[in-house]
Each structure stands twice: as structure tokens, then as C-alpha cells.
Amino acid sequence: MRRVAVIIGAGPGTGAAIAQRFSATHSILVLSRSLPGSLPKLNLDTPSDRLLAATSDGSNESLKKAFELLSAHWPNSTIDVGVYNTNFSFSPGPFLERTEDQLRTNLESGIVSAFNFSQHIIPHFLANEPNETTRARGTLIFTGATMALRGGAPFSTMAPAMFARRALTQSLAREFGPKGVHVVHAIIDGKIAPPKDSGREMPSEAIDSNDIAQNYLDLVNQRATAWTQELDIRPSDESW
Ligand SMILES: NC(=O)c1ccc[n+]([C@@H]2O[C@H](COP(=O)([O-])OP(=O)(O)OC[C@H]3O[C@@H](n4cnc5c(N)ncnc54)[C@H](OP(=O)(O)O)[C@@H]3O)[C@@H](O)[C@H]2O)c1
């Protein structure tokens, strides 16, 4: 049976690393606003019959189309992994200079789309038989950030969305955990290193996105007797 992982927010950094890591066990549907056109930027080394890219901005309409495409492309497959990984256009600054538009844009991508994605993927999980080893019907992982826990002064248009993303994962975990759906919130507590070919300098203390991806794979392989709902990830030399 073909297993499918759906990754929304599949950019060249963490999203691509997650797609690459899961491609050993899964066929991958990658989604973002600029895909499929931006697929070459992801630099994925994945057999073409195991990779599908489609456009989604996290709206219900775009997600409906994406899941219909998936069903038509890989009929009778088992969708058992979802990763919500969308980023923001990073716009820190003094509160009195922030705008309602910036807040609304970030709430849209930070939480409304996460809500929509969950509504589209969880019914697929619930239709699965429990995995023989883990007993999970599906795993849904949300990428978070330090600002999900702490609203730093310049982050007034971003932290509220990340707080809300975290809250959503708690509600989903409590409702769907007993039904076999593993919901996780991963707090990325540090800077993620930019992709190697981005030309941007890599700070020595940056988190390697491949290592985040390995953490996500480990989460999917956890057995249902000992699930993680939340984890934080930082490099050993981060001061925190
Ligand atoms: N970079 C860091 O230092 C850092 C630190 C802590 C936490 N994080 C979190 O880690 C995650 C990954 O960050 P990353 O920097 O490595 O990014 P990435 O995985 O390279 O790319 C994320 C992608 O999300 C897509 N996206 C944004 N809004 C979207 C929407 N509404 N619908 C669908 N796709 C959307 C963007 O592609 P399109 O433009 O094509 O839509 C973007 O390329 C994010 O959740 C971020 O908040 C990052």
C-alpha cells in the first residue's frame, strides 16, 4: 500500500528537508502558493512517481482541489502523515507602526489555513486502519516557533498567530488522540540554517533543517503508548 505524506508550506528550507526525509517511506504531496512552479528550488532527490506538487494557499478551495488531485493521482493510497509548515513574511517592528493588514495576513497563514488543513486531512486519517507497529491512524505535525510561547516586543503581528497555532494543536490532540490521530506541535527555538545554495551565510548555531526532519520522522514512528504532543528543538549551544 502506498503511504502518502502531505506537506503544506513546502519551501526550500525545512519544508524541503521534511519532504526529502519522508520520501524514503512515503510518496509526497508538497503544497505552497508558488508550487508546482517553484519545485526545482526544493532540490528534491525523489523518484518522480513518488512526488506530486500542487498550489495551495491554505484556503478551503485550494485544499479541496489538492486532495482531489492526490486521490486521482494515487488512488487507494493511505494518507497517514500531514505537516503544517507555512512561514510568514518576517515583519518584526514597533507595535504602533504595525498594521491591521499585517496582522490579518499572518493570522490567515498562521492559523486559519492550519485549521483548514486539519479539516481536510484528519478525515483521511480516521478512515485508516491503525498502523500495525505504532497503532496510529495518522500523524499531524505543526511547525511552531519560540513566539508560540513568548510574544517578543517586535512580534505583535506574528506571535498571536503562532500562539493560536499551538492552541489548535492542543484541542486537536485531545479530541483525536483517543481516535488514533497523533497531533504534535514542534517549537523550533532558534534560527533555522538557510538552504546551502541560498547564498545566505549559515550562522554556526543555526538548526539544520535535516535534523528537524529527522525529529519529525521519529515522531511518526512513536508508538501510541508514548506519544509526544509537544517538543522543543534547539541547537546545543543556543542560549535560552
Ligand atoms: N527560518 C527560521 O529561522 C525559523 C525559526 C523558527 C521557526 N520557523 C518556522 O519553521 C517553518 C519553516 O520555516 P522555513 O524558514 O524553513 O521555511 P520553508 O520550509 O523553506 O518554507 C515555508 C514555505 O511556506 C510557504 N507558505 C507561506 N504561507 C503559505 C500559505 N498560506 N499556504 C501555503 N504555503 C505557504 C512559502 O512558500 P510560498 O511562498 O510558495 O507559499 C514558504 O516557502 C515555519 O513554520 C516557520 O515559522 C522558522
pLDDT in tens, 93-147: 999 999 999 999 999 999 999 999 999 999 999 999 999 999 999 999 999 999 9
Task: Indicate which residue's Cα is closest to atom 5 of ligand 1.
Answer: 191
Residue type for position 137? R
DSSP bridge partners of 107: none
Query: How far is it, in rounded angstroms, from Cα 139 to Cα 83?
Result: 8
Q: Which strands, in side-by-side order, build the sheet including 138-145?
A: 51-55, 27-32, 3-8, 78-84, 138-145, 181-188, 230-233
CATH number of 3-233: 3.40.50.720
- Answer with the residue of higher pLDDT: 201 or 47: 47
Task: Indicate which residue's Cα is closest to atom 1 of ligand 1.
Answer: 192
CB 88 within 8 A of CB 107: no
pTM of the model as a whole: 0.97
* Ranges of H-type helices in 133-195: 159-176
Task: Indicate which residue's Cα is closest to atom 28 of ligand 1.
Answer: 86
Instruction: For a ligand 1 pocket test, name from 8, 14, 205 the mutation site with the most ligand atoms within 8 angstroms of its C-beta.
Output: 14
49: exposed, middle or buried (Cβ count in 10 Å: 0-12, 13-18, 19+): exposed
DSSP bridge partners of 128: none
Instruction: For a ligand 1 pocket test, name from 7, 84, 86 the mutation site with the most ligand atoms within 8 angstroms of its C-beta.
Output: 86
With a 6 Å cutoff on the Cβ, whether 148 touches ligand 1 is no
pLDDT in tens, 165-200: 999 999 999 999 999 999 999 999 999 998 877 777
The pLDDT assigned to 134 comes to 98
Domain chopping of the chain, boundaries: 3-233
pLDDT in tens, 7-46: 999 999 999 999 999 999 999 999 999 999 999 999 999 9
DSSP annotation of 88 reads: -
**At 216, which helix (H) or strand (E)?**
helix 209-220
